[in-house]
Amino acid sequence: MGQQLTMTPQLQQAIRLLQLSTLDLQQEIQEALESNPMLERQEEGDDFDASDPYAEGAETPANTSVNSQSESYQETTTPSADSLDEDQWAERIPNELPVDTAWEDVYQTSASSLPSNDDDEWDFTARTSAGESLQSHLLWQLNLSPMSDTDRLIALSIIDGINDDGYLEESLEDILVSLDPELDVEMDEVEVVLRRIQQMEPAGVGARNLRECLLLQLRQMPANTHLLNEALRLVADHLDLLGSRDYTQLMRRMKLKEDELRETIELIQSLHPRPGSQIESGEAEYVVPDVIVRKHNERWLVELNQEAVPRLRVNSQYAGLVRRADSSADNTFMRNQLQEARWFIKSLQSRNETLMKVATQIVEHQRGFLEYGEEAMKPLVLHDIAEAVGMHESTISRVTTQKFMHTPRGIFELKYFFSSHVSTSEGGECSSTAIRAIIKKLVAAESPKKPLSDSKIAGLLEAQGIQVARRTVAKYRESLGIAPSSERKRLV
């Protein structure tokens, strides 16, 4: 005799829905609505009762307070058309509406791309337009530039060799070889066309190295720009000294005072080292929060984002057509569709309940972060939440993947609240997220002339009771995108 776990289709569906993001879940629900006639979407103001859409009377938790250990759910109901006064209903909607065609005959829209009823700031262009690439931006300018057919072919070859950062990756020799030999093009013609492309927007495009990129941008500035000549000379002759932050050598070689050198460097720092990045090449990505956290009456409330996932229910009219004793093909099909609809709704309900449990425990554990910020983040691992909600760690991992929480401090993925711990001198624990926040704060307050080294930061953390090795500080600093102390040194 033995025990084994059988992965039933219902369990497989529940696990699959559990790990989907909100956008993927919306697409899954849309496909289910299109393929199963027994499922229907419950919209606000629909002409049927406002009972729970999750079938057979089960309610999904919508609001949870984490002020105490007990969980309290608040239910929200939408008044149906039957609850409105007859006179009010007649005033709002006339009995007959003139219609000359069906909506679906003209427009093909997706429900996720349409604005909600109360969305006053919906931007059609932002939702439907694709981002412009650097190549298309340069081609658009090329079409507006008068030039011969031969020069235009040369320009097309040059633009093809420009990467997304705006730099020309191909050498002029390779571009010359790639052209049709019948054109009889010389190298000086290619250089002339390159100079014309380098005058296009964004400034600095078509450069072959960083020095040329910065020089192109400086030369396009007004001639009366303060310290423009000094900046040109610094970039052309002493860019390596600027990269190594050898300010003493720069002042001596350029014969500049400290204030003049600082202003010259500030002018250079205002330029774009990657000019192509100014052109948006990708489409905008949107994050839809699954959970909303807000503070009300000194209590933190956890709510599911009801607008992110539509409310579903079984179509009572079609469900009433199913007959138990009928074994015909049509009745069998409808009975199977009804069972699948109930399974799908129960899987959605299970997903929402699990998500609420996990989010509530995260907020309960990380209340210090919500109150005071990253420095108050506590150590948290999957095992802690799994033990609190009575689930396996793999389930918690699925719930926290691609799920987002909207808080007063911003939108965070649920995995953001999990971090390892470092021991303190008093026997306690400090999360790695809090240590990163402290390192970021220390670097922001350091002296520009004498930045803090990794060893010095480790010493300052140890003075606060946090025992962190120098190599660990370096790892955290690199994860924050903070340069080493030698590269952070600058003039005041």
Give, in degrees to the nearest 5, the angle at Cα 356 between 354 and 357: 65
Looking at the 3D structure of the chain, how many domains does it have?
Answer: 3
Establish if 103 belongs to a structural domain: no
Q: Can you read off the two tokens belonging to residue 129?
A: 């337009």
Establish if 99 belongs to a structural domain: no
Based on the fold, state whether residues 300 and 209 are members of the same structural domain: no
> Looking at the whole model, is its pTM more than 0.85?
no
At residue 76, the pLDDT reads 35
Establish if 176 belongs to a structural domain: yes
Establish if 249 belongs to a structural domain: yes
Which residue ranges of the chain lie beneath pLDDT 50? 47-61, 68-117, 122-129, 492
At residue 128, the pLDDT reads 43
Domain of 471 in residue numbering reads as: 421-488
Based on the fold, state whether residues 274 and 306 are members of the same structural domain: no
Based on the fold, state whether residues 324 and 216 are members of the same structural domain: no
**Do residues 322 and 335 touch, judged by C-beta distance below 8 A?**
yes
At residue 438, the pLDDT reads 87
Of 312, 258, 320, 202, the residue nearest 449 (C-alpha): 258
Based on the fold, state whether residues 276 and 146 are members of the same structural domain: yes
At residue 6, the pLDDT reads 64
Based on the fold, state whether residues 465 and 439 are members of the same structural domain: yes
- CATH value at residue 448: 1.10.10.60
At residue 257, the pLDDT reads 86
For residue range 326-376, list pLDDT tens digits in order.
778 888 888 888 888 888 888 888 888 888 899 999 998 888 888 888 878
Establish if 91 belongs to a structural domain: no
Based on the fold, state whether residues 200 and 269 are members of the same structural domain: yes
Based on the fold, state whether residues 173 and 137 are members of the same structural domain: yes
At residue 423, the pLDDT reads 61
273 DSSP 8-state letter: S
**Do residues 16 and 32 touch, judged by C-beta distance below 8 A?**
no
Based on the fold, state whether residues 221 and 357 are members of the same structural domain: no
At residue 280, the pLDDT reads 64
At residue 284, the pLDDT reads 63
| Cβ neighbours of residue 55 closer than 8 Å, sequence gap 6 or more | 313, 314, 341, 342, 345, 346
Establish if 2 belongs to a structural domain: no
